[in-house]
Structure 1
Amino acid sequence: MSPLGGRTSGRWANLVWGTANLAGGLALVSRPPGRGGRWGPRYRAFGHGVAAFSLWAAVAENFFAMNVDP
């Protein structure tokens, strides 16, 4: 499901939307604030949380198929 096609969005619309989200996310984290541009512990913890949530969402969708019409 994506804003490009709603509930009936196909794989290509989802791929485009996901790529746009990835590009936006990478743009946001490419230069973290702080001196020297180094990742601090808070940014690493945030990154680990995002990775864990993404993994959980992918696994949950695979096993429970929440976005599929019955």
Structure 2
Amino acid sequence: MLTLPASVLEDMLVDAVHKEGDEAILMLALVCTRFRNLVTREAFRRRAHFLWFDSVTNWTAFSTYYKAEY
């Protein structure tokens, strides 16, 4: 796993966080320095959060303007 490109590894870690929940970020940060550096980035946490948010939100109920804004 350490030879994977950062973008591929990040995709895998975001998927793990999406499936396992926010606690996975803490556990992944303890695995190794590379994982910690990826999962503690604000961009990673935002991506994981919005992936979760998209999975629990019914976007058809919102206007086009609202969707573009958020």
TM-score, normalization: structure 2? 0.33
TM-score, normalization: structure 1? 0.33
Structure having the larger proportion of residues in helix: 2
